[in-house]
């Protein structure tokens, strides 16, 4: 797979995760501003929770409570959950190196990505990828060729009998600690 095809896959999967950030209707103004900022800067290394708060002009004490009430988890948990969802999707493409995935998700190093992934998912990115291979949910070469030639719709493609939307091998990062197990 060429570097251009890899970039295209990554960009499309990252956009897919960004698009899952809820619509802004029905949220208070501060939460809307934070969600808009998250959608725009989710995978940027330097854009952590403090940068999001600073750039939106919301008051730190108020947004933490509001965000948790309206979104169901803290701002930090939500940001990490979205990044880990993208990581789990991208790890399904065996042609993508783990260090490349880490970089594109905004991590400064492979080790910081692996540490965050292990904390959220319960295993290293490499072990997760191996588990996906064993469970036969890695995209087959036919699906990849359709994807890279543009004849592919991410919302409907099939990966050896499984839809990407059905890949739920782990709980979200905001899940209760007792619900996570090591693989």
Q: What is the CATH code of the structural domain delimited by 3-174?
A: 1.10.10.60
Cβ-Cβ contacts under 8 Å for 162 (sequence gap 6 or more)? 136, 137
CA-nearest of 57, 127, 129 to 95 is 129
Cβ-Cβ contacts under 8 Å for 121 (sequence gap 6 or more)? 84, 88, 128, 170, 180
Rounded Cα gap, residues 10 and 93, in angstroms: 9
CA 122 distance to own-chain centroid:
16
Parse the chain into domains and list their residue ranges: 3-174
Q: What pTM does this model have?
A: 0.72
For 177, which DSSP code? G
What pLDDT score does 26 carry? 82
| Regions of the chain where pLDDT drops below 50 | 140-183
What pLDDT score does 134 carry? 82
């Amino acid at each position: 797979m060429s570097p251009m095809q890899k970039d295209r896959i990554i960009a499309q999967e990252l956009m897919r995760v960004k698009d899952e950030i809820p619509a802004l209707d029905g949220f208070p103004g501060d939460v809307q501003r934070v969600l808009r900022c998250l959608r725009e800067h989710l995978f940027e290394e330097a854009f952590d929770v403090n940068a999001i708060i600073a750039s939106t002009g919301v008051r730190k004490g108020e947004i933490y409570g509001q965000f948790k009430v309206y979104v169901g988890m803290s701002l930090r948990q939500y940001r990490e959950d979205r990044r880990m969802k993208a990581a789990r999707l991208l790890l399904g493409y065996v042609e993508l190196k783990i260090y490349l995935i880490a970089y594109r998700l905004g991590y400064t190093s492979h080790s910081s990505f692996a540490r965050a992934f292990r904390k959220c998912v319960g295993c290293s990115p490499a072990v997760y990828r191996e588990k996906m291979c064993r469970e036969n949910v890695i995209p087959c070469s036919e699906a990849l060729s359709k994807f890279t030639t543009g004849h592919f719709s991410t919302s409907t493609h099939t990966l050896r009998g499984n839809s990407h939307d059905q890949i739920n091998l782990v709980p979200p990062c905001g899940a209760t600690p007792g619900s996570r197990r090591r693989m």
